[in-house]
Amino acid sequence: MKDFINEFYVTLETSEKKFRAVTEEESTRKPAPGKWSQKEILGHLIDSSINNIRRIVAGQLQNNLVFQGYQQNEWVRLQNYQNAEWKFLIDLWKLNNLHFIGIVKEISPEVYTKQFPEHNFDQILSEKFEKEKPVTLEDLIRDYLLHMKHHINQIVM
C-alpha cells in the first residue's frame, strides 16, 4: 500500500503544478461543442473524489461493495464549474484528494484486501470488472487513481 500512497502523492503534486500553469482563460475553453472545459473536467474529478470517499467509507461498514452511481454530466452542470475560479477548483481538488489518501491510510490491511462477491463495479467503475468475480476496496481505490490520471491527461494534454 505504501507504494500506492506514494504514487498518489506524486500524482497530486505533479498535476497541481501543471494545473497552476494553466490560465483562467485557458481553463474555460471547450475543445468542441458538448465537451467539457478543463474547469469542468477538474470539477468532475472533484465530484469523483466526493463519491469515492463515500464509497470507501461505506465499503468498510457494509457486507458488499454495491454503490449508487451518479449523473456525472448533471453534477458538473448543476455545480456550474465552468464559472468557478480555476485556482479554487485546483485547491478543492487537491484537498479532497489529500483527505481521500488520509482515509485510505487508515484502512486495515484485512479490510483493504477483503474479497466481496457482491458488487456492482462492472457498472460504476472505469476499469473492466466481471460481475462474477469478487472485488476488494483496493480494486476500488486503484480504479479511482486510474480514472483520475485519465482525466488529468485531458487537462494537461
Nearest to 145 by CA among 54, 9, 20: 9
Q: What is the pLDDT of residues 90-136, one digit of tens each?
A: 999 999 999 999 999 999 999 999 999 999 999 999 889 999 999 99
Number of domains in the chain: 1
CATH of the domain at 110: 1.20.120.450
φ and ψ at 91, to 5 degrees? -60, -45
pTM of the model: 0.95
CB 135 within 8 A of CB 129: yes
53: cell is 470517499
CB 127 within 8 A of CB 152: no
The Cβ-side half-sphere exposure at 47, using a 13 Å CA radius, reads 20
* DSSP character at residue 22: S
Domain span at 104 = 2-155
